[in-house]
Amino acid sequence: MKPVSRLRKFFDWTLGLGLIALGIVGLVLPGLQGILFILGGLAILSSHSAIARRLLETLKAKFKAAKDRVAGKNR
C-alpha cells in the first residue's frame, strides 16, 4: 500500500468534515439530502480513520436492515 501524502490527507479531512457539516445542515433544511452528504463524508474519512470506518459500517448495516423491512424481506 502506497503511503498517502500530507497534502492528500489534509484535502481528504477537509472535504470529509465539510461534507459531514453540510449533511448535518441538510438534515434540518429542506431540499438537501443530509444523510447522503454524511455518508459521503464518512466514506472519504474512512480511509484515514478507524472511527469513521466503524461508523460508516454501522450506518450501512442499519440502512440495509431498514430497506429490508420496507421491502418485506423479514416477514
pTM for the model stands at 0.77
Name the packing angle between helices 34-45 and 6-28 (round to 10°).
160
**Per-residue confidence of the chain (75 residues) as pLDDT tens digits?**
677 789 999 999 999 999 999 999 999 998 888 989 999 999 999 989 999 999 989 988 998 988 888 888 765
Residue 74 DSSP code: T
Which of these, 46, 47, 39, 7, lies nearest to 22 by C-alpha position?
Answer: 39
